[in-house]
Amino acid sequence: MTAIEPIVIVTTGGTIDKAYFDSLSQYQVGETVVARLLSIGQVTHPYRVVEALRKDSLELTDEDRALLVEQVAALESRRIVVTHGTDTMTESARALASIADKTIVLTGALSPARFAESDASFNLGMAFAAVQTLPAGVYITMSGQVFRGDQVRKDRANARFVPTA
């Protein structure tokens, strides 16, 4: 019997992992909630979580993206989910497109996972399912859809992702 290849979830921060530390503070990226969300969802497929960064995506630099690409390329797994802030998710998708022979799915949230009415669990679940079924390439799962990483943009006015082509 062949062992099932684990899915690696690489966390970079973003809204999905934001938290209030007190009633007067701004959101800050906290410890990742990804493993807790997958546990709540009773996920039985093998996975492991790797923290690459803990930043708001607007603070990501070219060096951060180069580090992300290097870390994802070095992973043995061919199926990778990247949690990421939504503001610059498409920029990181473009950077990750240089990696061949892996299925990479980026996802995030428009409100923190710690909020009751967050889209985080749904988006992470979509990404987890999509990475198991899609061919090699880079994709984004947001707004209830799966997009090619190079054919999507964030529509800030309507708080959703939409196709560009």
- The pLDDT value recorded for residue 20 is 61
- The pLDDT value recorded for residue 112 is 82
pLDDT of 105 strictly over 90? yes
The 10 Å Cβ neighbour count of residue 15 is 24
Task: Work out the pLDDT band at 25, boundaries 50, 70, 90.
Answer: low
Mean pLDDT for the chain overall: 91
b/e burial code for range 44-77 (CB count within 10 A of at least 16 → b): eeebeebebbebbbeebeeebbeebbebbeebeb
In 7-84, DSSP assigns E strands to 7-13, 18-19, 28-29, 47-55, 79-83
Per-residue pLDDT tens digits for 109-144: 988 887 878 899 999 999 999 999 999 999 999 989
- The pLDDT value recorded for residue 137 is 98
Residue identified by tokens 């994709």 is: 139
Give me the half-sphere count of Cα atoms (radius 13 Å) on the Cβ side of residue 16.
Answer: 32
Task: Indicate the class that CATH gives domain 7-159.
Answer: alpha beta
pLDDT of 77 strictly over 70? yes
Domain boundaries, the chain: 7-159
Q: Read off the pTM.
A: 0.93
Section 80-93 average pLDDT: 96
The token pair that represents 108 in the structure block: 């995030």
- The pLDDT value recorded for residue 1 is 61
- The pLDDT value recorded for residue 97 is 97
pLDDT of 27 strictly over 90? no
